[in-house]
Each structure stands twice: as structure tokens, then as C-alpha cells.
Amino acid sequence: MTAVAAPVVKKKERGGAWLSLLAWVVGLLFVLPVVWMVLTSFHSEANAATNPPSVFAPLTLEGYREFFSGGASPWPPLLNSLTASVLSTALVLVLAIPAAYALSIKPVQKWSDVLFFFLSTKMLPVVAGLLPLYLFAQNAGLLDNIWLLIIFYTSMNLPIAVWMMRSFLSEVPVEMLEAAQMDGANLIKTLRSVIAPVVTPGIAATALICFIFSWNELLFARVLTATVAETAPVFLTAFVTSQGLFLAQLCAAAFVVSLPVLVAGFAAQDKLVQGLSLGSVK
Amino acid sequence: MTSVAEKSRVGTEGPPPSGAARRTSAWARRAPLMPALIFMIVVTQLPFVATLVISFMNWNAYYPDEVGFAGFDNFVRVFTDVNMRDAVWTTILLTVGVVLISLVLGLGIALLLDRKFRGRGAVRTMMIAPFLVVPVAAALIWKHALYNPEYGLFNGALTWIWGLFGSDNPPQPDWISNMPLWAVIFSLVWQWTPFMMLILLAGLQGRPLDVIEAARIDGANNWQIFYSMTLPHLRQYLELGALLGSIYIVQNFDAVFTITSGGLGTANLPYTIYQIFYQAHDYGRASAAAVIVVIGTIIIATFALRTVSSLFKQEAGR
């Protein structure tokens, strides 16, 4: 038996090794632009813009120094992005968790219609609502106000969060809920001792994904903010046009602005698929 | 395993009480849902009603004295506008191009990662990285650090490779000017392939392995197993990836705005509407265009929702 199987296994192993190598090459190709961004951000401007590229040029923090203290300070936009993302994420969770509860654990009638209403708002092109929101903000004196972005980002992420939270809540075993009810546990106690332990990782993943989407948003931030409430992505787009030889600085800026998303994304890595597929893939 | 929906929990409750008690209990059930529902209706549906109203008005911020009712004029102008027609076509090309290419690449990479090998976790992490770069930052990096004809990495690599063979005359194409739409498509494919890969990988890992093993014992080769077992199993994941990818890429603004500023025939619908509104300040025309986009989206979304809905029912019935 083993004597017959051995050559087959060997051939399979060799084919497998090639496929593994291919996987590594593809992975490296995909991560290359990110690595290149980070590497270039640590080069001097002169070394950043050479042809062929100076891969082994000495490393320097010049680009970062120039980014943080060269021209307009990036701190206000970074703080604005942080405020808008964190507060809108908190608001999303406050609204989405009870809604998801009413769509899964104690479902309302026609709960699937409600669920699809939430999804359908995600398909409505955001540009269609841009103008009225702009005019409203102009008349209400809310232009260049971070709260308007917070409200808008909440509406942008709420459908995603409802779908995600519903999928996480539906993982709570029915038997445990029934058992808690038999024992006479009230709603608060059931929530705390039965539901919370199961869904806490789900809440964390939902929060991280909402944070990422808010942090990334450009179109609304660009139209609705100016100098006061400007967010980091808007700052990035304006940053380029005003600079000369800037590649190292640009890479430093792109990396700094992307860093929170990279951290949040890798933290949510295990639940990323479930979140991005609105809870339909686990 | 995967599940698009779990079994309904309606049965876990006792027999429905009647009359007033039932109404109270129905409202108690609805109460937690209401804040989210009302919030969504106010923030997403009301603005659209406003857009609808404005689309029938003659309203340009540069001519504040001429605001008034315009009938279907804005719609006529949108339909006869060559730029709008080009924008529709560009949007279709961009969306279909990015979704198809990233689905195919994502499928290939998911198959590669669905095997055990040394460093599989590391490769998976590397694959996810592009999706976790802020879209504007990614677009800027592609434009300046990769595509730039003088010092971009692509032309730099060409110089280096040609140099290896002793040639000092490497091709140095101006990527963005030569193929503007493809330049945008490639940068988006780079960002969206990881997304497709993750969904398809999850699908692959939910395959019934015992059945595949049985088929292998019965003498089915790799291609047969892939074509008649893996692919049908992945169908719903492919559809889901295509649907979600389309929802996001149809609305893409960041890449078009950053890489080409909508020039060289890359202006898609979001960018064009942004321009009519933000630069031309023609509120009536921008609204009419938005209404047309919404109607188009509703038609497409109805099909898309039907797909999700059928997945939903199919799984719920399990």
C-alpha cells in the first residue's frame, strides 16, 4: 500500500510546493504598493523620486517631520476624523443593537421586509441625497460642522450594523433564552448573562467596521466641510496640490491617515468577512 | 458553516394573546426598532423627496433671481447631454470591469489559500492589506508613487528590468494618459480583490469535504471536482460578492476624483453629478440627474435584492 502511494504523494507535494510559491508571490505583489508606500515615506524626497527606484537608500523621518510641521497642521483634520468616526459609530451601535434585537430575538411582524428596507437604503446612490443635505446645512447654518457628518455617517453605517448585529444576535442559542425565561430572568438579566457574552465580539467587529467606513469617507466630507470640520481624507486631497517635490511626504501622509484603518481592520480580521458581507457569510 | 438567515424564532413565544394585550405586546416588540427606522427614514428618504422636488425646478445658485418651476426641462437637458450619456457608459464599464476582474482574481487566490501551506496566515494578512488602506490614500499612492511616468514604481521597475539586460532605453509609458479608465480600474481591482477573496474563501471553507472525498475516490479529477462541485457551491458567494462589490463601486468617487479628476473620459455618474452641483451650481439639473440615477439603481437593485432575498429564503428553509 505505502509503496504504491509514495510516488503519487511525492508528485502531489511538488505540485503543492509550486502552488504555495505562487500564493506567496501573489500575496507579495498585492502587499507591494503598501510596502512601497511605507518604505518611500522613510526616504528623503531626493531618493523617493528616482528612476530606477532607490530601494536601499538611507532611512529618514524627514517626510513625517515635513508632514506634521511643514505646512498646515494635520492634527485638526485627524482629530475631526476621529471625532466623526467614533461618535457616529457610538450612535450607530445605540440605534442598531435594539433594532437588531427586534429583528432577531423578538422579531416584529414582517421583520424581513424591515431588514430589506435597511439594505435598500444602502443601494440608494449617496449623491442623490447630497444636494438636499447641502442646502439644508446651508440654511440651518450647519455647513462645516462636524455634527452633520456624524449624522450622515450614522445613516451610512446603520444598515450595515443592523444586518451585522442581527446575524450575531441570531447566534444566541434559542434554548438558552428559553432556559433563562423559565428561570424567571428579566430582560436586563437575560441581556447581561445570556446575550452579552455571545455577541460582545460581534459588537466589537461591527464597531470597527463602522469606524473604518466613516474614517474613509470622502465625498460628503468634501462637500459639507471647509476649514473647521475638514476630515483627514479631505486634507489628503488638498495636501497634494499645494506641494512641489513631495512623494516621501505624501507617502508619510497616506500612511499616517491609513494607520487607524489598518489597525482596526487587522483587529477585526476574523470577523471582517462576516461584517463586510452584512452577516451573510461566516 | 454559512447561513444567510437562521430559523425564525416566532415559534418560541406562547400563543398570541388577543385584543388590547396583543396590540401592546406588538408595540413592545416594535419599540426597540423604531429609533433606527425613523432615523433612516428622516436622513435617507426625506432628502430624496427634496431631490425629486428640486429636479422639477429651475434653480441655479449663480442666478438666484430665476428660481422657479421648470417642468421636465431638467430631465430633457440631462437626457440630451452627451456628458451624462458618457458618464452612464463609464459607470457601467468601471463597475463591471472592477467587479469581474476582482472576482476572477479573488477566486484564484481563494483557491490558492484554501490549502494548507507554510505561511498561509501571513499570505492572508498580506492579501487583506490593500483593502485597509484609506481609498483616497490608495488612489494617491497609485497616481503618484506607482503610475507617475518619471519616478513611479512601474516605470522604475521597467528601467531596472531593462537595465538587467543591458538596455538603457526602457519603455516609459505615461500610464494614466495612455489608459485612464484602466488606470482607475486597476487601482480599484487592487483594493477590491481582497474583499472578493475573503468572501470566496469563506465559501470554499464551507464546502462539504466528505462529498468531495467521495467524488475523488470515485475517480473524479481536480478539474471535474472544481467545475461540477466547487463552482456550483460557490455560486451564491460569487453572486454576493458581485452584488456587494457593485453597490460600492457604482458609487465610487474617491478614485475617479483623485487619479484623473474625472478627465480623459473617466467621469462616472457620482463624479458628474458632483460637478454639476458643486462646480456648476445647477441644482435643478443635478437633482434631475440624481433622480434618473436613482430610478436606474432601483431597477438594478430590484434584481439584486431578489438575488439576496432568494438566498435568504433558501437558507431559511434549511
pLDDT of residue B194: 93
What is the Cα–Cα distance from A64 to A61, expressed in whole angstroms? 5
Determine the average pLDDT of the residues in B265-293: 84
Q: Give B 55-114 residues with CB within 8 A of chain A.
A: 109, 112-113
Q: For B163-174, what is each residue's pLDDT tens digit?
A: 888 877 888 888
Tell me the chain B residues in contact with residue A221 when contact means C-beta distances shorter than 8 Å: none
With both helix axes pointing from N to C terminus, report the angle between A111-123 and A146-169 in degrees, rounded to the nearest 10.
140
**Which neighbouring-strand residues pair with B68?**
B58
For chain B, say whether A159 makes contact (Cβ under 8 Å): yes
- CATH number of the domain to which A214 belongs: 1.10.3720.10
> Is B156 in contact with A212 (Cβ distance < 8 A)?
no
Domain assignment present for A282: no
The larger pLDDT score, comparing residue B22 to residue B255, is at B255
Percent of chain A with pLDDT over 70: 92
Same-domain pairing of A115 and A154: yes
Reply yes or no on whether the pLDDT at A55 is more than 90.
no
A160 and A143: one domain? yes
Domain-ending residue, one of A22, A39, A66: A66
**Which pLDDT belongs to residue B311?**
62
Residue A10 in any domain: the answer is yes
Residue A122 shares a structural domain with residue A82: yes
Q: Report d(CA A146, CA B185) in Å as an integer.
A: 32
- Contact status of B306 with chain A (Cβ, < 8 Å): no
Q: Residues for chain B: how many in total?
A: 318
Query: What is the band of A144 on the pLDDT scale with cuts at 50, 70, 90?
Result: confident
Q: Which of residues 221-250 of A touch B (CB under 8 A)?
A: 223, 232-233, 236-237, 240, 247, 250
Task: Name chain B contacts of A280, Cβ cutoff 8 Å.
Answer: 2, 4, 240, 308, 311
**Number of folded domains that form chain A:** 2
Whether B8 has a pLDDT exceeding 70, the answer reads: no
Average pLDDT over residues B18-44: 81
Is residue A255 in some structural domain? no
Q: Chain B residue closest to A215 (CA)?
A: B134
Per-residue HEC secondary structure of A95-134 comes to: HHHHHHHHHHCCCCCCHHHHHHHHHHHHHCCCHHHHHHHH
Distance from the Cα of A233 to chain B's closest Cα (Å) equals 6
With a CB cutoff of 8 Å and minimum separation 6, the contacts of A274 are A164, A167, A205, A281, A282
Q: Does A122 touch chain B (CB under 8 A)?
A: yes
- Cell output for B307: 438575488
Cβ pair A218:B137 closer than 8 A: no
Inspect the interface and report whether the beta carbons of A123 and B301 lie closer than 8 Å.
yes
Residue A254 pLDDT: 92
Nearest Cα residue to A165 out of A195, A200, A202, A190: A202
In chain B, which residues have their Cβ closer than 8 Å to the Cβ of A143? none
pLDDT (average), residues B85-102: 91
pLDDT value at residue A11: 59
For residue range B228-241, what is the model confidence (pLDDT) as tens digits? 888 888 888 888 88
pLDDT of residue B205: 84
Answer yes or no: are the C-beta atoms of B172 and B179 closer than 8 Å: no
Are A125 and A243 in the same domain? yes
* CA atoms within 13 A of residue B171's CA, in its CB half-sphere: 5
Q: What's the rounded Cα separation, in Å, for the pair A272 and A266?
A: 9
Pair (A120, A31) in one structural domain? no
What integer pLDDT is reported at residue A270 of this predicted model?
Answer: 78
Average pLDDT, integer, range B251-271 = 86
What are the tens digits of pLDDT across the range A191-203?
A: 777 788 888 888 8
Query: Across all residues in chain A, what is the average pLDDT?
Result: 83
Greater pLDDT, B318 or A212: A212
User: Coil, helix or strand for A72?
Assistant: coil
Close Cβ partners of A175 (under 8 Å, ≥ 6 residues apart): none
Chain B neighbours among A 165-224 (CB < 8 Å)? 170-171, 174, 177-178, 212, 215-216, 218-219, 223
Among residues B210, B273, B205, the alpha carbon closest in space to that of B55 is found at B273
Nearest residue, CB atoms, A95 vs list B29, B35, B203: B35
Q: How far apart are CA B218 and CA B227, in angstroms?
A: 16
Rounded Cα gap, residues A61 and A42, in angstroms: 6
Reported confidence tier of residue B4, pLDDT bands at 50, 70, 90: very low
Is 70 exceeded by the pLDDT of residue A66?
A: yes
Contact criterion met (CB below 8 Å) for B136 and A218: yes
- Whether the per-residue pLDDT at A98 is higher than 60: the answer is yes
Question: What percent of chain A lies above the pLDDT cut of 90?
Answer: 23
Q: Are A149 and A50 contained in the same domain?
A: no
Distance CA B175, CA B155 (A): 9
Same domain, residue pair A144 and A221: yes
Report chain B's C-alpha Rg in angstroms: 25
Residue B312 clears pLDDT 80, i.e. is over it: no
Contact by Cβ (8 Å): B269, B56: no
Do A105 and A12 fall into the same domain?
Answer: no
- Cα A24 to chain centroid, rounded: 25
Whether A119 has a pLDDT exceeding 70, the answer reads yes
Residue closest to B254 by CA, chosen among A197, A66, A236, A259: A236
**Number of residues that make up chain A:** 282
Among residues A33, A60, A35, A34, which one has the least CA distance to residue A46?
A60
Q: Cβ separation of B132 and A178 shorter than 8 Å?
A: no
What is the residue range of A162's domain?
Answer: 74-247+260-276
> Which one of B4, B124, B141, B312 would you mutate to disrupt binding with A, by most A Cβ within 10 Å of its Cβ?
B141
With respect to residue A107, please indicate whether it lies within any of the assigned structural domains: yes
Residue B14 backbone phi and psi in degrees, to 5: -70, -175
Contact residues on chain A for B198, CB-CB shorter than 8 A: 272-273, 276
CB distance B123–A129 less than 8 Å? no
pLDDT at A95: 93
Q: Does residue A252 form part of some domain? A: no
Give the closest-approach CA distance of B55 to chain A in angstroms.
11
Closest CA–CA distance from residue A102 to any residue of chain B (Å): 6
Q: Is A103 on the interface with B (CB under 8 A)?
A: yes
Q: A12, A44, A66 — which closes off a domain?
A: A66
ipTM, two decimals = 0.86
Q: Which residues of chain A make contact with B29, given a CB cutoff of 8 A? A: 102, 106-108
Question: What's phi and psi for B273, nearest 5 deg?
Answer: -65, -40
| Contact yes or no for A155 and B156 at CB 8 A | no
Question: Span A137-142, mean pLDDT?
Answer: 83
Nearest CA of chain B to the CA of A38: how many Å? Answer: 11
* pLDDT given at position A9: 53
Measured CA to CA, the distance from residue A19 to residue A22 in angstroms comes to 5
C-alpha torsion sign, points B61, B63, B64, B68: negative
Same domain, A103 and A175: yes
Q: Select from B306, B282, B61 the least CA-distant residue to B290.
A: B282
A60 Cβ neighbours under 8 A, 6+ residues apart: A42, A43, A44
Please, what is the average pLDDT of chain B?
A: 82
Residue A253 placed within a domain? no
Q: Which of B99, B12, B276 is nearest to A107 (CA)?
A: B12
- pLDDT per residue over B47-81, tens digit each? 888 888 888 877 777 777 777 777 777 788 778 88
Point out the residue among A98, A129, A177 whose CB comes nearest to the CB of B47: A129
Nearest-CA distance B283 → chain A (Å): 7
Which A-chain residues 30-69 have CB contacts (< 8 A) with chain B?
30-31, 33-34, 36-37, 40, 48-53
For residue range A75-87, list pLDDT tens digits in order: 889 999 999 999 9
Contact state of A34 with B133 under an 8 Å Cβ cutoff: yes
* Range B61-77 burial, b when 16+ CB lie within 10 A, else e: eeeeeeeeebeeebbeb
Looking at the structure, do residues A22 and A93 belong to the same domain, yes or no?
A: no
pLDDT band (50, 70, 90) for residue A132: confident
Give the Cα separation of B252 and B243 in Å (integer): 15
Q: Kindly state whether residue A281 falls inside one of the protein's structural domains.
A: no
Do residue A31 and residue A109 come from a single domain? no
Distance from CA of A190 to the nearest CA of B (A): 15
- For residue A134, what are the CA distances in angstroms to A65, A253, B50, B178, B289? 36, 29, 11, 36, 16
How far does B2 lie from chain A, in Å, by closest CA?
5
pLDDT band at B116 (very low <50, low <70, confident <90, very high): confident
Report the distance separating Cα A248 and Cα A264, nearest Å: 25
Q: d(Cα A250, Cα A48) in Å, to the nearest integer?
A: 10
Residue B300 — very low, low, confident or very high, per pLDDT cuts 50/70/90? confident
Per-residue pLDDT at B17 exceeds 80 = no
Cell numbers linked to B64: 438666484
Q: Which domains does chain B have, with CATH numbers?
A: 18-52 (no CATH), 83-316 (1.10.3720.10)
A274 vs A39 pLDDT, higher one: A39
What are the residues facing B58 on neighbouring strands?
B68
Instruction: State the pLDDT at residue A130.
Output: 83
Domain edge (last residue) among A66, A85, A119: A66
- pLDDT for residue B317 is more than 70: no
Q: Which three cell numbers stand for residue B271?
A: 463624479
Residue A111 near residue A103, CB atoms below 8 Å: yes
pLDDT on residue A275: 76
pLDDT confidence bin for B3, thresholds 50/70/90? very low
| Residues A102, A45 share a domain | no
